[in-house]
Homo-oligomer: A and B are copies of this chain.
Amino acid sequence: MKTAKVALFGLGTIGTGVAKILLQHANQIAHATGQPVELAKICDKDITTQRDLNLPPGLLTNDPDAIFSDPNISVAIELIGGLEPARSFVLRLLENGKNVITANKALLASHGAELFDAARKYKRTIAFEASVCGGIPILNALSTALQANTVQSINAIVNGTSNFILSKMENGKISYRDAVAQAQKLGYAEADPAMDVDGTDAVQKLTILAQLGFGAVVDWKAIPRIGIESVDALDFLYAKELGYRIKLLAVAVQSDGGLELHVSPTLVKADNPIARVQDAYNAVRIVGDSVGPVFFQGLGAGQLPTASAVVGDLIDTVLGRTAITFGALNLWNSGNSLIPIKSPAEFFGKSYLRLNVVDRPGVMCELSGILGKRNISIASMIQHEPVCETSGDSAVLFLTTHEVREGDLVQAILELEESSVVLGSIVRMRVQS
């Protein structure tokens, strides 16, 4: 019986998890694939640090060529992360006849077309379940079981760090800064959590969901994103009054004129399952024309949940299921989008605004005038009494709008911020109808 020889690039947290599963569950995986699956080589630039792992001798190398040039290795797992050298390594793996598995959302969001075209050229495959929502088998569902559907919308919590921070702020009634500190202490946030909290990570994952769900090809940098840095404890109070919770949502929704894509803190009705997703959990709600709404929730990060998805891909690749799916889906085909991407200015939707306004007569008239001339109609508004004396001559105003054209709202926000009635920046979120 032939043995499938597998190489691993990157022995960090996830890589160690993958090695653990492959070494400890070897029998189970051989049973699932019908052949032994051998972890043949591991490449990492650091080959001295002791890992929580009993590696057989001779496995670890810091020479990537030892993998590229080994004709016995048929599958390689890329867990380096980031763009380079991950991109070059994946290209060289494909050139050298190896199927690739990756968890690298940044790489796919930036170079999907190049890598998938290369895989097609060399008749190899790329599998990437772990790149979005860790252990939740969401890409698999979109790629296979839900294929009878035209997908109408995807709403997802794809960044566990942000969801942890927002959950702690909401439940513990603590500040953004304190919640970030808690997340860092518990290992849910990096020392520099910028890519998580500013929406970059979520936007990159959204490009992958949009490719699988809608055949969309889009530059992730062009997707409008609002991070969670400006969310305040006060926002949760007002959202609660209105029956909402606040989640960082990645949204892809099909409407007249194409696909709307955006990432932003969003007021979600409290009875929506996605509103109840707590802590570092991820969740995805897909609406298909036949299946209706389907909801998935699980751990979107962490060593073993992510490794579960990687090894799932490995089993698929060894069995040949990946080759069938890869061929059928024809993903990122030369960068051609199967659906037009809507210009952000043309989005329609409800929004939530928090404004610091000067506390004097006539302010409301001026404010509603600026909104009104752009057809922005206010759905709800509240002005709380100043929280403390230092608030001085300003007041915090919360409002939600009816459905408005994004371009009009952006213009109105700019004009308000330049006006004499608004102090500082306006905090803006979306409201899910």
User: A interface vs B, CB < 8 Å?
Assistant: 17, 21, 25, 28-29, 32-34, 129, 135-137, 140-141, 144-150, 273, 276, 288-299, 302, 304-305, 307-312, 314-316, 319-321, 324-325, 327-328
In the assembled complex, the Cα of A147 lies from the Cα of B149 at a distance in Å of: 25
In the assembled complex, the Cα of A34 lies from the Cα of B324 at a distance in Å of: 11
Minimum CB–CB distance from A28 to chain B (whole Å) comes to: 7
**B304 contacts A293, CB within 8 Å?**
no
Residue of B nearest to A134 (CB): B291
Contacts of A145 in B (CB 8 A): 129, 137, 140, 309, 312, 316
**B308 contacts A146, CB within 8 Å?**
yes
Contacts of A273 in B (CB 8 A): 273, 276, 297
In the assembled complex, the Cα of A111 lies from the Cα of B314 at a distance in Å of: 33
Q: Pick the 7 closest A-B CB pairs, nearest first.
A: A137-B145, A148-B311, A135-B291, A290-B308, A291-B308, A294-B298, A140-B145
Residue of B nearest to A309 (CB): B145
**B292 contacts A144, CB within 8 Å?**
no
In the assembled complex, the Cα of A296 lies from the Cα of B286 at a distance in Å of: 11
26 contacts between A and B (CB under 8 A): A28-B150, A29-B148, A129-B145, A137-B140, A137-B141, A137-B144, A145-B312, A145-B316, A146-B308, A147-B315, A148-B311, A148-B312, A148-B314, A148-B315, A149-B308, A288-B308, A290-B304, A291-B308, A291-B309, A292-B304, A292-B305, A294-B296, A296-B296, A296-B297, A319-B325, A321-B325
Minimum CB–CB distance from A23 to chain B (whole Å) comes to: 13
Minimum CB–CB distance from A306 to chain B (whole Å) comes to: 9
Residue of B nearest to A149 (CB): B308
Residue of B nearest to A313 (CB): B145
Residue of B nearest to A297 (CB): B295
**B25 contacts A294, CB within 8 Å?**
no
**A146 contacts B296, CB within 8 Å?**
no
**A290 contacts B21, CB within 8 Å?**
yes
In the assembled complex, the Cα of A129 lies from the Cα of B308 at a distance in Å of: 22
**A290 contacts B321, CB within 8 Å?**
no
Contacts of A294 in B (CB 8 A): 135-137, 296-298
Our pick among B144, B304, B316 for the contact of A312 (Cβ within 8 Å) is B144
Our pick among B146, B297, B309, B324 for the contact of A137 (Cβ within 8 Å) is B146
In the assembled complex, the Cα of A38 lies from the Cα of B237 at a distance in Å of: 56
Our pick among B33, B298, B325 for the contact of A291 (Cβ within 8 Å) is B298
Residue of B nearest to A33 (CB): B328
Residue of B nearest to A307 (CB): B290
In the assembled complex, the Cα of A77 lies from the Cα of B430 at a distance in Å of: 44
Contacts of A148 in B (CB 8 A): 21, 25, 29, 32, 307-312, 314-315
In the assembled complex, the Cα of A295 lies from the Cα of B311 at a distance in Å of: 20
Minimum CB–CB distance from A426 to chain B (whole Å) comes to: 34
Our pick among B21, B29, B291, B324 for the contact of A304 (Cβ within 8 Å) is B291
Contacts of A32 in B (CB 8 A): 147-148, 328
Minimum CB–CB distance from A247 to chain B (whole Å) comes to: 15
In the assembled complex, the Cα of A288 lies from the Cα of B304 at a distance in Å of: 10
Name the residue in A29, A129, A292, A315 with the highest tally of chain B Cβ atoms < 10 Å from its Cβ: A292
In the assembled complex, the Cα of A149 lies from the Cα of B310 at a distance in Å of: 11
Contacts of A321 in B (CB 8 A): 144, 321, 324-325
In the assembled complex, the Cα of A292 lies from the Cα of B304 at a distance in Å of: 8
Minimum CB–CB distance from A1 to chain B (whole Å) comes to: 14
